């Protein structure tokens, strides 16, 4: 066996589910085939009397049985390993196949793995709950933005021109500023009065109208906004 490439794992499709890891290890050792480090049993759905077994080999023995088994598995793809069943004093066999995807040995025992899996499942559940909460918050924000947009669209607005009137003649007197001012329906007549002012009217006096403009209902209702633009 020393001149052959090592085979470190064997797959057995069906073994008696009553067998333990120690039973399998002792069987391979008794028939002088190989030294087994561990056995992984995998349950078969809807079958309670048999299961899969993955045999992990430390080393193959230098014996006739080992040479035959190794050669058949390597060249034929399988080997029927006959062994004696002590319970019934009859012979049975395991079909030995190469394990193409061996699972490396872990340093954790079964109990430690169970705790680790439980912690991972809890983290996944917490992350899922957080994602669900974030989706709900996003949906609420979208509904709020739609509500605010509808409210803004329903507010009546009209564009009014405000001019700089600081009493000082400078080049900025020709700059026009525009603002959107909320108006109520009953302010329409007031706005029309302002719009009807004729700049070419000879009777129009800036000083006389300045007081009238500041006493206008539109000015008094929106004084803070007008002052901001006229300063």
40-77 tens-digit pLDDT: 898 888 888 899 999 999 999 999 999 999 999 999 99
Show the CA angle centred on residue 203, arms to residues 202 and 207, nearest 5°: 110
| pLDDT under 50: residue ranges of the chain | 159-163, 173-183, 191-195, 197, 209-213, 216, 218-219, 221, 225-226, 228-229
What ranges make up the beta strands (E) of 111-226? 157-163, 176-182
Sign of the torsion angle spanned by Cα atoms 106, 110, 115, 119 = positive
Global pTM value: 0.45
Where exactly are the structural domains of the chain?
A: 9-98, 106-154, 157-230
Q: Which of 60, 45, 44, 48 is nearest to 12 (CA)?
A: 44
CA distance 109 to 111: 6
For residue 79, which of 29, 139, 12 has the smallest C-alpha distance? 12
Q: How many CB atoms lie within 10 A of CB 14?
A: 14
pLDDT of residue 176: 46
């Amino acid at each position: 066996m020393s001149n052959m490439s090592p085979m470190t794992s064997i797959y057995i499709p069906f073994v008696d589910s009553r067998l333990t890891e120690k039973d399998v290890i002792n069987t391979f050792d008794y028939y002088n085939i190989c030294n087994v480090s561990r056995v992984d049993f995998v349950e078969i759905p809807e079958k309670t009397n048999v299961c899969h077994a993955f045999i992990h080999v430390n080393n193959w023995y230098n014996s006739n049985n080992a040479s035959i088994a190794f050669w058949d598995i390597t060249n034929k793809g399988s080997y029927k390993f006959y062994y004696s069943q002590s319970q019934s004093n009859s012979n049975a066999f395991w079909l030995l196949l190469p394990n193409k995807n061996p699972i490396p040995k872990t340093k954790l025992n079964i109990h430690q793995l169970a705790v680790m899996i439980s912690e991972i499942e809890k983290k996944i559940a917490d992350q899922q709950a957080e994602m669900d909460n974030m989706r709900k918050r996003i949906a609420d924000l979208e509904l709020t933005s739609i509500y605010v947009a509808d409210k803004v669209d329903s507010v009546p607005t009209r564009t009014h021109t405000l001019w700089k009137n600081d009493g000082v003649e400078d080049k900025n007197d020709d700059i026009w500023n525009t603002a959107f001012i909320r108006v109520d329906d009953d302010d329409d007549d007031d706005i029309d009065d302002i719009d009807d002012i004729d700049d070419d009217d000879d009777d129009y006096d800036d000083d006389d109208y300045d007081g009238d403009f500041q006493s206008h209902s539109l000015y008094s209702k929106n004084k803070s906004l007008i002052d901001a633009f006229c300063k």
